Structure 1
């Protein structure tokens, strides 16, 4: 019986359950059996992501917050959220008749930046750089499904952060991705670096000089994904002390969206 709107249905849990890391006692690393059901743990994580609640303020009918937080941190330490997102993305692409996993030759990716919060993470930015806070960089496929997420201090230039982001994308998509679309903030040496180091073609999608708003088809995919992520209250602002936990929250928000999209099709 579902208690909250974020609780997983049986079909969605059947998609996620095989993708989670095995418990330590079953993987030969010793330890006790897990006391709380893994499905409930995932329900709590999705509840936190969607509602933006503090870990310590979890409802009383959930497992103790230290248990959930430790499981969340342990899964993130082994890269569970990235593997979940990669597997779900591949299944959605197959269900919609696309190439599994990443875009093929002749298609492209879109890279973009979303503003984070204004917490003083970088209190002494150099002149000409962004103010305090964090920025969230993502690269998505042509369907708007993320391949990589990166959180950096707001003082980090987009062209500098894009190098780490594209390396992550290459680790995820392999050599199946050959073209990246980006906005004007990524011009300069990044284009030559991506071509020589990662064998990626970076194409800049310029905004037309028009007096009115117009949708840029290639760049709109990343704007749409950023809107999906910030539709979850935990991702509207950066509440995490650790940068990689903020990246994990963004991935869990897309895991929720992607699993719903997949099960609606099936």
Structure 2
């Protein structure tokens, strides 16, 4: 259940979040402290399809929980993309969110966990798609930190960066059929 380049609508996606440091211009009302990552700033919550294209983004204070933000984003994504049936997530999205997605959104939230014997940083199956998006965002100089005063502006810069990525993908030379 994944999306190929010819499909107009995604059927599967990946959700994740990343905390980034905030610049001094970011007000105290929209910044927070992520105790897990020890970052004072904001958190970017994203949902991508299986091609790595952005379906939804939400920027919050870093102390906002993943499950609370995911409920809002997944509700939005499921209403905009009716064929979306499966979303992969990490262990931070367990609990009542799984039941909410299944009962309220008719969406399967599959938790991809790493095994106990794995040590260090391991990219899990299907999770590399969203990690690749975060890597692209961090290569965009303006997104290496959060410099925007408003969260709506921060979200707009993320969409702008994704537009650059999509136009580069579209502009790639394709081999001509013989």
TM-score, length-scaled by structure 2:
0.83
What is the CA–CA distance in structure 2 between the aligned matches of 1:125 and 1:263, rounded to whole Å? 39
- CA 1:257–1:193 in structure 2 vs 1: closer, same or farther (change >3 Å)? same
Aligned to 1:205: 112
1:47-70 Cα shifts (integer Å, max 9, x gaps): xxxxxxxxxxxxxxxxxxxxxxxx
Larger Rg: 1
Higher strand share: 2
Equivalent residue, structure 1, for 2:41: 133
- Aligned ranges 1:58-207 → 2 under 5 Å: 96-97=5-6, 99-103=7-11, 108-119=12-23, 121-122=28-29, 132-173=40-81, 175-207=82-114
Following superposition, which runs of at least 4 residues in structure 1 exceed 4 angstroms of deviation? 122-126, 128-131
**How far apart are residue 131 of structure 1 and its match?**
5.9
1:129-162 CA distance string (max 9 Å, x none): 8764110010111111110011011111111110
Query: 2 CA distance for matches of 1:145 and 1:124?
Result: 26
Give the TM-score normalised by the residue count of structure 1: 0.57
CA RMSD in angstroms, aligned pairs only: 2.5
Q: Which runs of 5+ in 1 are unaligned?
A: 1-92
Q: In 1, distance between residues paired with 2:51 and 2:127?
A: 12
Structure 1 residues 205 and 164: alpha-carbon distance in aligned structure 2, compared to 1, 3 A threshold: same
Higher share in helix: 1
Partner of 1:222: 130
Q: Distance in 2 between matches of 1:213 and 1:101?
A: 32
Distance 1:264 1:159, change over 3 A: same
Q: Unaligned 5+ residue runs, structure 2? A: none
Aligned equivalents of 1:131, 1:121: Cα separation in 2: 14
Deviation (angstroms), 1:204: 0.2
The counterpart of 2:157, out of the listed 249, 252, 257, is 249
Distance 2:103 2:132 in 1: 30
Q: CA deviation at 1:254?
A: 0.7
Q: Deviations over 1:4-25 (max 9, x none)?
A: xxxxxxxxxxxxxxxxxxxxxx
Alpha-carbon contact 2:48-2:54 (below 8 Å) kept = yes
CA distance in 2, matches of 1:234, 1:142: 25
